[in-house]
Amino acid sequence: MALSVTSSSSSTISSTSFFSRLGSSTDSKALQIGYFRNLERSHGFVNLTQRRSLVRPINAEPQRKDSVVPLAATIVAPEVAEKEEEDYDELARGLENASPLEIMDKALEKFGSDIAIAFSGAEDVALIEYAHLTGRPYRVFSLDTGRLNPETYRLFDEVEKHYGIHIEYMFPDAVEVQALVRTKGLFSFYEDGHQECCRVRKVRPLRRALKGLRAWITGQRKDQSPGTRSEVPVVQVDPVFEGLDGGAGSLVKWNPVANVIGNDIWNFLRTMNVPVNSLHSQGYVSIGCEPCTRPVLPGQHEREGRWWWEDAKAKECGLHKGNIKQEDVPNLNGNGVAHDNGAATVADIFNTQNVVNLSRTGIENLAKLDNRQEPWIVVLYAPWCRFCQAMEESYVDLADKLAGSGVKVGKFRADGEQKEFAQSELELGSFPTILFFPKHSSRPIKYPSEKRDVDSLVAFVNALR
C-alpha cells in the first residue's frame, strides 16, 4: 500500500514563527527526518528507501515475533511505569481557541505515524495544507467507494503531485458490494435510504482503516450541519470506532477546523493556492458519491446537496455518528397535540377541507380494500419535516384541483408512534412519502419523483386513475 509521508524543508518552516522548534535543520528533530530524499517539488521529503520501516500501513497488524518464548520461570518482568492517560476533554477545552494550524501540529506531534488525515476530495484538502505547513511527516487516507465523481478522482491525483505524497486508498469489500447490488440494484438508496449503501461502501472500510491507527484527523466543522454537528469538539476520544489497541477509548479523533466557518476555509485555500475539486465551481459545496450529490442553489445550506430526497435529520453517512447531535423530535398524536412527555407542540400542516386526515384505523382499512369506490392519493408526513412543509402549498393546490374529480386526497401523520407501522406496512422510506391507492388494487403505488410541484403530482394521478 502506498504511504502518504511528507515533511517540509527547513526554509519553509522558518517563515512560521509559531514553529520555532523547527528553525534549525541541525537539531535533533531535523536529523530524525534526514533520511528523506527531496522530490522534484520543494514541498517536502519522502523516504524512498526506508519507508516501510518508518511508517506502519494503515491497516497493519502488530509485527509477529517468530522467536521461541522462554519458560515463564526464567523471565524476570521489568518494572514498567504506568502511563498516565490523557484527559482529552481538558485538552479540547485548552485548544478551543487555538488555530487549526496549532491543533494540527499538536495532533501530529502526539501521534506521529499512528495518525492519518481522512481526505474526502472536497474542501478538506485544507487539512493536508495545514499538515504540510507544520513541517512534520503526515499520512493521508481516503475511502474510494467506487461511486465518486470523475472530478474527485482527478483531484486525488493533483493533490498527490502537489504535495509529493501517496494517498492510502481504502476500498469496500467486493463481495459485500456484489451482494448489495445483485440483491437491491445500483440505486436502492433512492428507495430505502442511503444508510445501507454507506455502511458497505464507507463505514466498514473506514473501520478497517482506523484499526491500524491510534488517532485520525477529520474535516468536520460545526457549521456544516447545525442540526447534527453543532457540538463537534476539536479533539475527543472517538465514541464509535476502535483503534490499533482495540476496545473503547483506543482511538482519538481530531477535528482541527471544528470552529472554522466555511468562508474562512475557502479564503485559506485561495490564499495558499491549494488545488480544489472542480465541482466546487459548478455549485457543489458538500461533495460525496456521484449519485448522492448535487449542486445547491444560492441561500441553500451546503448539506442540502447531499441525499436531497431524504429527511433533513438523516443527512449523515455514519462516518461521524458519534458527533451527531441528538435532538428530541416532538412525540405528537394524530391531532398535532404534544403527549405528556412535555415536548413542544408543532403545528399540523396540509390543513384544508379537501384533504382528509386519516387515522391509523382509516389508513389500515384503506390499505386492505381490494375494491375501492374511489382512488386515493395520500401523503405520509411529519409536520416538523421541512421537506413536508415545503410541499404543503402544492399538495393543498392538488387537493383543490382534484375536488369533485372522483379522486380523494388524504394525509397520514407517520412519525412518532406510527413510524414503525408506516415503514413496515406503507413503504415509508423518508418524509414525505406519497402513495396512490388505485380503485381496483389493494397495493399502493409509491410516487417515485422528488418533484413535488402540483403539475407533477397531477400528472402522476392522471397516469394512474
Residue 363, C-beta contacts closer than 8 angstroms, at least 6 positions apart:
378, 410, 412, 426
Phi-psi region of 101 (alpha: psi -120 to 50; beta: other; left: phi over 0): alpha
- Bridge partner list, 215: 115, 252
* Contact assessment for residue 292 and residue 145, using Cβ atoms and an 8 Å cutoff: no
Amino acid at 229: R
Is 385 an annotated catalytic residue?
yes
DSSP letter for each residue of 93-160: HHTTTS-HHHHHHHHHHHHGGGEEEE--SSTTHHHHHHHHHHTS---EEEE--S-B-HHHHHHHHHHH
Which residue is catalytic, options 197, 289, 317, 388?
A: 388
Taking the C-alpha atoms of residue 274 and residue 331, their distance in angstroms, rounded to an integer, is 47
φ/ψ of 100, rounded to 5, equals -55, -35
From 169, 154, 165, select the one nearest 43 (Cα to Cα): 165
Q: Count the helix, strand and coil residues of the chain and give each as a percent rounded to the nearest 5.
A: 35, 10, 50
The CA-CA-CA angle for residues 418, 422, 424, to 5°, reads 125
Taking the C-alpha atoms of residue 265 and residue 271, their distance in angstroms, rounded to an integer, is 10
* N-to-C CA span, the chain: 58
Q: Which residue has the cell 491543533?
A: 103
Cell of 451: 418533484
φ/ψ of 332, rounded to 5, equals -110, 155
Mapping DSSP onto H, E and C, the string for 329-385 reads CCCECCCCCECCCCCCCCCCCCCCCCCEECCHHHHHHHHHCCCCCCCEEEEEECCCC
Catalogue the active-site residues: 385, 388
